[in-house]
Structure formats: C-alpha cells, structure tokens
Structure 1
Amino acid sequence: MLVRSIASVLILFVGAPAAPGPPPGRDEGGWSRLFNGRDLDGWYTFLQEHGKDRDPDGIIAIEDGAIHLYRDVPDGREVVMGYIATEHEYGDYHLRWRYRWGEKKFEPRYALKRDAGLYYHLLGEDAVWPRALQFQVQETDVGDLLALYGLRLDTWIDPETAGEPIPTFLAPDRGGRPSVLGGEGIGYAKRLPGPFEVEGWNTAEVVARGDSTTHVLNGHVVARGDHIRLVDPDRPGESRPISRGRIALEIEAAEIEFRDVEIRMLGEGDGQAPRTDGGG
C-alpha cells in the first residue's frame, strides 16, 4: 500500500525574501494553539442535563497540558456526555490534535468500544448530538466520517461494501464508487481499513478547504469528502454549501486525553489538501 504523508502536501519556498517572524501565538509554520494547555479560554462546555459551561460532576480536568476527560470519575459509573466547543467558527484550515485512551469506561456505554470524536463545521444550537461533521475517535474506527442532522457530502466507497449498512471509504483512483453521505439523521462511512491507530498518543488531523474535507490518522489519509452542504429539511431538494463552523472535542463516556490542539489557516499559497492513497 502506498502511504502519502500529510507532510507531502506542504510547499517549500526556496530563495524567497526573508519574511518577518510569525505573529504572536503562531510558530514559523503558521500553527496556532486552539487549546492553550492551561484552561479553556476560547472554548465552552456543553453537557447533557447541565447545559453550557456547567460541569458539577467534574468530568473535565486539565493537567500537564492536556484535557483529561472523566479523570476523577469511578469506573463504570453512569455519566453525562457532551463536548467542549470553540466559541468561534473556523473555515479553510488544517487542524491537528493528539489523543490517548485511558483505562475507564462508563454507563451508558460501558459494554461498548471506547468512544469520543471531533466535531467540525458544527452549526446552530448546542445539542447531544449536534448538527456537524465528525471525525470519529472510537477504538478500531478512528477516522470514520460522519455527517449529522442535515449535513451532506459526496464521498467514495469500496463497491464491495455498497450493500452494507455502513460502507467503507475507497478513493476514486483506487476504484471507489461515488456515494452521497448524510442529509437525514446520521450518515456514517467507515474509514480506509488498516492498522493506523497505535498504543499511547495518536495524531489526528482534519484538512477543511472550502467545501471539502480530508481525515488523516498518524500520517495516513483515511477518508475524504467533497461538496459539503446543508440540506433544508423543509425542501429536501435544496441545499447550501457549508465551509465553516465551530470545532468541538466530544465527551462520550470513555476516559481519554486530548492535547496539542493546533490550527493552521489555509490560503491560496498553501498547496492543495492531501489526496488519499486509497489503499490497495
């Protein structure tokens, strides 16, 4: 299998005039911290039963530069779920973050796989679960692409999985067949198969350029979609392009840590979003 690293899509300018240093909060590659490692400045919380910016159960802790979910909650206890979301909307960006599973799981998902995720292009009112796209973070399924409650996009699937309830992504240059994901309820497409997740810290990335998206896990492109749009529930044949929204770290009844949540805004000189190797 050919594997194309996210780094392969960056453009190196040689011999250009010396540029001024990066703006405050950005490094020389243009990356800025969305999570500062100390507190939730620029973010808000939304939890079942408690609503916005209320965490009476102590689900969210910050330590050693990481957000640690359910750190102090006893294993197996019934818990609420929700997310930690940015106060502002973002579009045309390259987002990256690291995650690491903890040991504990909780009801109502105690018997299920450890689960979390990253929402992006989150629109409208806060809810569990919101109108958004999702980069799935679930054991063995990290990188799956979900379109929730009115979000729709075009993607490609392995023809051999077309009849399955949840088809599997395959790039068009590897024989993937066009498919439409989402629009009503929750649309779900499995990522490119492969042993991409590792023990300990993993690096996940979303490249959202215009109305397209690319999911990357530990340097491997594992899902992709184009023509992201919002379907009008009252007029199923009508839609409008979606290219921005809030970003949120999902809280879903499993101990997990998030750190190094960084964003790089994309411009015309940044090259194109990575294309997938597609597997094979």
Structure 2
Amino acid sequence: MTRARSDRARICASVGAAALALLIATAAAADEKAGPWTQLFNGRDLTGWETWLGIPDKSTAGIDLPRDADGRYAAPLGLNVDPKQVFTLVEVDGKPAIRISGEIFGALTGQQEYDDFHLRLEFKWGEKKWPPRENVVRDSGILYYAVGPHGASPNKAWMRSLECQVQEHDVGDYWGVAGAVVDVAGERRSVAEGKEPLIHFQKGAPTLTVEGPTPRAIKAFDNEKPTGSWNKVEVLCLRGTCVHAVNGKVNLVLTNPRQPAEGGVAPLRKGRLQIQTEGAEVFYRNIAVRPITEFPKEYRP
C-alpha cells in the first residue's frame, strides 16, 4: 500500500469512528432527556389499575344483569366488577403476565394520566375467542389519552381515547374511540372492491382528518410476529404528535389529537391508558412508561 493510500485509510477510519461516536452520543443524549421508566405491572397484582366491563354478549351465562325482551343484556357490568374473571394473573413462558380472556368487552384502565410519554409493552395471543368475534381475527388494543367517563363508546366498553390497534395483522393501526379525532398523512383508498376507502399512512403525504363512522387509519406495514410469539408495541406522544411502533419499527404517525367540546373542539393531549378486552384471549407483560421531552432517534416521526 502506498503512503497516500495509507493516509486516506487512516483518515476514513478516523472519520468513521467520529461519526459512530457522534451517533452514540446523540442517542445517549436523547435517552438522558427522557425520564426513568415506571413499571405499570408489578407481576404480583393489579395495583395501579382498575377494571371496567361493558355490556356482555347475550350468549354469556352467569351474569346478574337485566335482559331486554330479546334476551340481550341491558346494562354494563361496570367498574371493578368481574364475575367471569376476564382479568387474571398467570405465568407464561416463565414470567408473570396479565391474562385478558376477552369474554366481555371492556378494559384494564390505568389510574394515572400522561401527556408526553413513551409506553412500551409486550403481548402474545392466546387460543380462546368469544362471541360476537369467535369467527374473526383476534382483537385487543392499547387506548391512550383516555378521558371522561368509562363506557363512553357506543357499546359502553371504553373511554374516549386514541387507539393503537392490537389485532391480528393490523397491529399499529389507529382508531378514534368515542369521538376522538386526529390527522394522519396518507391517502384514502379501498383495499378491496366494495370496501369503504380508509386513510393509509404514508410519510410525507398530504394530511387527512380521521373521523366519521369509521375513524380508522391503516399502518404503513405489518411488522407483527406470527401468532403465538411475543410482540413489542410502543406508543410515544410529544406535543401533539403520536407514534406507533411494532417490534421496534414505526408504522404510523398521527398529529393534532382533539375531541368535541362545547362550541367546537379541544386538544386531547393528556389522559389515562386502557388495555382492551375485545373477544380474544391475550397476554400482556413488561408494561412500562416514561416521560419524554423529545423523540428517541429511532422513533422520530
């Protein structure tokens, strides 16, 4: 090797090392600006959570609730009433987890409110499915910025909130619950003939409003592991922008969360967390949250 080549090699190596050091320092600085992680599941009980169960399916037996003339239950079960043991603690793969049976729609609701935050958790599908969703894909969800009364949704199951969808092949999709409205960059298109056109997230595309009878936005790509595997889901919100990430990859970004208010609309940037029970057995573990003042580099929208 000539001296000139040797010098160029040393310069390239030095530049590469400096770039790597800067990258590491930048990531470390972003992490330092985030607060410490708070574990939301202690592995022993449901301290810090409350339960809410909505109106059971008419096929559900053993429920002490009135029924209408058609045999349908006429009221939700309500707060911290769980006669069917929808929410239990179990050990899965050698670690403590929360089992959500899915038999009755509702939610496990955190007692604290969060504004600018980074939530992470892991979920794994179980086997059992229940009416009225026994013949469709498994479904659950992470609701955030949950506000107002329990049971605000039409089926009396969930609070007004933003949803990071947890559903087979749809993890990371967005749903607006009980009147919540957001904006998503993307295009409106139908996935099949005769299907309602929906907004598909596309970074850099024009911003569209997600509202109406089907307030759903579709993620950019599916990054869910096969059913039976543990999946990591993260939600990050900062100053009116929220990011959904599945197994470390951002697949949807939404902005300007808001809600109906007297005389118009109001920002929706602070609220509680809910984990849905929605017709399918599912396990959750390693649930943690921390405050943030900027997005970590790998999750920047």
Please give the range of the TM-score, normalised by the shorter of the 2 chains.
0.7 to 0.9
Change over 3 Å in CA distance of 1:59–1:192 after alignment to 2: same
The equivalent residue for 1:125 is: 149
The equivalent residue for 2:299 is: 274
Given that 2:223 and 2:249 are in contact with CA atoms closer than 8 Å, whether structure 1 keeps it comes out as no
The equivalent residue for 1:4 is: none
The equivalent residue for 2:122 is: 98
Given that 2:160 and 2:180 are in contact with CA atoms closer than 8 Å, whether structure 1 keeps it comes out as yes
Deviations 1:39-77 (A, max 9, x none): 11111000023210111111111023210122xx9xxxx
Residue correspondence of structure 1 range 233-248 to structure 2 within 5 A: 235=263, 238-248=264-274
> Among residues 133, 156, 170, which one is paired with 1:109 in the alignment?
133
Change over 3 Å in CA distance of 1:159–1:134 after alignment to 2: closer
Asked if 1:52 is matched to 2:76, the reply is no
Read off the aligned partner of 2:97 and give its amino acid letter.
A
The equivalent residue for 1:35 is: 41
Read off the aligned partner of 2:300 and give its amino acid letter.
R
Which 10-residue stretch deviates more, 162-171 or 199-208? 162-171
Change over 3 Å in CA distance of 1:273–1:213 after alignment to 2: farther
Read off the aligned partner of 2:216 and give its amino acid letter.
Y
Q: Which runs of 5+ in 2 are unaligned?
A: 1-22, 55-75, 152-156
| More helix per residue | 2
| 1:244 partner SS | coil
| 2:225 partner SS | coil
Q: Distance in 1 between matches of 2:118 and 2:41?
A: 15
Q: Distance in 2 between matches of 1:248 and 1:171?
A: 27
Residue correspondence of structure 1 range 43-192 to structure 2 within 5 A: 43-48=49-54, 49-64=76-91, 65-70=96-101, 79-127=103-151, 128-158=157-187, 164-172=196-204, 176-182=205-211, 184-192=212-220
Taking structure 1 as the reference length, what is the TM-score of the superposition? 0.79
Given that 1:209 and 1:273 are in contact with CA atoms closer than 8 Å, whether structure 2 keeps it comes out as no
Q: Distance in 1 between matches of 2:287 and 2:222?
A: 24
Given that 1:148 and 1:185 are in contact with CA atoms closer than 8 Å, whether structure 2 keeps it comes out as no
Read off the aligned partner of 1:204 and give its amino acid letter.
V
Taking structure 2 as the reference length, what is the TM-score of the superposition? 0.73
Change over 3 Å in CA distance of 1:187–1:249 after alignment to 2: same
Aligned residues: 243
**Distance apart, 1:90 and its partner CA:** 1.1
Instruction: Tell me which structure has the larger Cα radius of gyration.
Output: 2
Which 10-residue stretch deviates more, 117-126 or 194-203? 194-203
The equivalent residue for 1:11 is: 27
Moved over 4 A (4+): 7-10, 159-164, 270-273
**Distance apart, 1:34 and its partner CA:** 1.1
> Among residues 196, 204, 209, which one is paired with 2:238 in the alignment?
209
Asked if 1:256 is matched to 2:282, the reply is yes
**Distance apart, 1:158 and its partner CA:** 3.3
Q: Which runs of 5+ in 1 are unaligned?
A: 1-6, 20-27, 74-78
Q: Percent identity?
A: 30
Given that 1:156 and 1:170 are in contact with CA atoms closer than 8 Å, whether structure 2 keeps it comes out as yes
Q: Distance in 2 between matches of 1:96 and 1:9?
A: 23
